[in-house]
Amino acid sequence: MEGVTAPSFRDLVLARNPPEALGGAYTEFVRVVDHPVPKKVFLEHLGPRRFVAPVGVQLMGRDPRALMASAVHAVELGVPLVDLNFGCPAKGALKGCAGAGALRDPCGMEEVVRSVVRAVAGAVPVTAKIRAGYDHARDVEVLARAVEAGGADLLTVHCRTRAEGYQPEVDWTRIARAVAAVSIPVCGNGSVETHADLERMRRETGAEYAMVGRGAIADPWVFSGQHVTADVAAGFLLEYYDYLVACAGEPKSPVQRVKQLLRYWTAGGVVRDEDDRLVWLREPDPLAVIARLRALAAAPGA
Ligand SMILES: Cc1cc2nc3c(=O)[nH]c(=O)nc-3n(C[C@H](O)[C@H](O)[C@H](O)COP(=O)(O)O)c2cc1C
């Protein structure tokens, strides 16, 4: 997730959930403006580790030529999936008609998908992620069909509209409508918070797959449904911290990154309640945050 997680977070999640529980992941979006993205940028997003479950590269842009050349670079690096982001509601993306901005022009979106599918030429599947609409969800079928007509192999539907941002209320029937409108597989997304929600989303919407966003930041074991103890959960956060310390060039400090997870974290009771969350987040001394995590990790089964 852009701005929140470093590639090593995704690696740690993949390492803790077997492929039958977690079928794959994508990088955060890689912004494509008017030039092809250099291969070294993709390598930074992908990180050093590889897994049985595929990790695709997600591209966000509107310039078909730059997207095509970027997708080819990604494929040449051995990336197993290329995803297109038509869901980001950030102002910068909308101004350039990228991300969710593309939802205002289904024909243009279809053309972008078609261009990238053509560029990749069957070497890897091309997938696309939309929101249910820009200002309203009345045309989710039109958007889903545009992605399918462009030749995508899979469609992810985040059930909120651009206007709805990340509001807590969701309407999964919009995902079911997209499923009914297309014959490619659909991945549902939006407010999957627990392991049980994963199955419920698939059952209620008919979507073949379910994607988890913030729920995976709150509990990296959400895919397998394992309930971990505080020492195991703290161990995850410390391993992430150690990765980040070892990784030069990270824009945020390692403890800032850990605190970004603690804003959402529910696993293992590391964050006892919302008051305790504030204690974690307001701790000014980075070493105190790590010391508290180390104390939790050192008490097995706590
Ligand atoms: C901080 C943040 C960063 C995100 N970055 C991305 C991204 O890079 N690519 C993407 O497709 N979605 C991104 N998303 C959206 C999530 O993938 C997901 O669609 C959304 O949060 C809804 O799912 P959820 O309710 O399970 O969190 C981001 C969301 C948040 C809150």
187 is known as an active-site residue: no
The answer to whether 82 and 68 are in contact (CB under 8 A) is no
205-211-217 Cα angle (round to 5): 135
**Residues 74-97, mean pLDDT to the nearest whole number:** 92
- Higher pLDDT residue, 50 or 147? 147
Does residue 192's CB lie within 6 angstroms of at least one atom of ligand 1?
A: yes
Q: Ligand 1 centroid vs 2 CA: distance in angstroms?
A: 8
Does residue 85's CB lie within 6 angstroms of at least one atom of ligand 1?
A: yes
* Predicted pLDDT at 159: 98
**Residues 115-119, mean pLDDT to the nearest whole number:** 98
For the record, the structure tokens of 40 come out as 């070294």
3-state secondary structure 227-274: CCCHHHHHHHHHHHHHHHHHCCCCCCCHHHHHHHHHCCCCHHHCCCCH
Q: Ligand 1 centroid vs 125 CA: distance in angstroms?
A: 21
The size of the chain, in residues, is: 302
Beta bridge partners of 30: 59
**Residues 138-155, mean pLDDT to the nearest whole number:** 98
- Of the candidates 233, 285, 297, 234, the residue with the CA atom closest to the CA atom of residue 255: 285
Instruction: Measure the CA–CA gap between 192 and 164, rounded to whole angstroms.
Output: 16
Taking CA atoms only, the protein residue closest to ligand 1 atom 21 is 213
Does residue 212's CB lie within 6 angstroms of at least one atom of ligand 1?
A: yes
Give the percent of the chain with pLDDT over 70: 98
Pocket test for ligand 1, best of 2, 82, 191 (most atoms within 8 A of CB): 2
* Predicted pLDDT at 249: 67
pLDDT band with cut points at 50, 70 and 90 for residue 302 = low
Mean pLDDT of the residues in the chain: 95
Taking CA atoms only, the protein residue closest to ligand 1 atom 17 is 213
Does residue 58's CB lie within 6 angstroms of at least one atom of ligand 1?
A: yes
Sign of CA dihedral 282, 14, 267, 297: negative
- State the closest ligand 1 atom to the C-alpha of 215, by its place in the atom list counted from 1: 26
Instruction: Measure the CA–CA gap between 225 and 219, rounded to whole angstroms.
Output: 9
Pairing of strands 186-189, 209-211: parallel
> What tens digit of pLDDT does each residue of 19-31 get?
999 999 999 999 9
**Residues 171-195, mean pLDDT to the nearest whole number:** 98
Is the pLDDT reported for residue 275 higher than 80?
A: yes
Name the active-site residue from 88, 97, 107, 247. 88
Is the pLDDT reported for residue 246 higher than 70?
A: yes
For residue 240, give the amino acid letter: Y
The answer to whether 150 and 166 are in contact (CB under 8 A) is no
Does residue 45's CB lie within 6 angstroms of at least one atom of ligand 1?
A: no
> What tens digit of pLDDT does each residue of 192-210 get?
999 999 999 999 999 999 9
* Predicted pLDDT at 3: 85
Instruction: Measure the CA–CA gap between 275 and 267, rounded to whole angstroms.
Output: 16
Ranges 120-129, 218-227, 250-259: which has the least confidence = 250-259
Q: Ligand 1 centroid vs 110 CA: distance in angstroms?
A: 22
Q: Ligand 1 centroid vs 88 CA: distance in angstroms?
A: 8
Does residue 161's CB lie within 6 angstroms of at least one atom of ligand 1?
A: no
Q: Ligand 1 centroid vs 228 CA: distance in angstroms?
A: 24
Pocket test for ligand 1, best of 131, 214, 257 (most atoms within 8 A of CB): 214
**Residues 246-255, mean pLDDT to the nearest whole number:** 79
Taking CA atoms only, the protein residue closest to ligand 1 atom 15 is 213
Q: Ligand 1 centroid vs 87 CA: distance in angstroms?
A: 9
